[in-house]
Every structure is written in structure tokens, then in C-alpha cells.
Amino acid sequence: VHPDDAPQVAAQLAALADGDAFECEYRLVTATGERWVHDRAHVVVDDAGHRFMDGVLMDVTDRRRAQDEMQWMALH
């Protein structure tokens, strides 16, 4: 997780531990650069009482780049 986004992700994960749903967009730092992801998750409890995180992590880098470009064009 990108250092600038880590506090937001940590807060969302803490809320997830309390039973709330987790949903946010943040950057991942990879060997080839940064990637934007949209992350949604919730806690599932099985019959034995074990807690699992179930969710979807989607790469939204292209959408974020397009948004940034459109915003720049609107302002310049």
C-alpha cells in the first residue's frame, strides 16, 4: 500500500474488524510502478466461528488516469 494511502486503508480495516463493510480506493506500489485499486470486503463467520474476509480487489488504474486527464482538461 502506498505510504500516503496507508492511514486510510488501516482505518477501513479497523472498521472491518468491528463488523462494518470495507470499501475504498488506494494505490499499491509494485515493481513496475503504482496501481490504483478499488477494494470491497466484508467479514464472513463460518459455522465454527472462524472469521474470514471476503471481497473483491479491482484494478482501476486506467479509470483513475482517465479521470485525472479529464479533470486537467476541464481546468486548463
Looking at residue 13, its pLDDT comes to 87
What's the pLDDT tens digit per position in 6-48? 999 999 888 887 777 889 999 999 999 999 999 999 888 899 9
Determine the Cα–Cα distance for residues 12 and 24; give it in Å rounded to an integer: 8
Determine the Cα–Cα distance for residues 75 and 40; give it in Å rounded to an integer: 31
Determine the Cα–Cα distance for residues 37 and 2; give it in Å rounded to an integer: 11
Contact indicator for 22, 12 with CB cutoff of 8 Å:
yes
> Residue 38, SS3?
strand
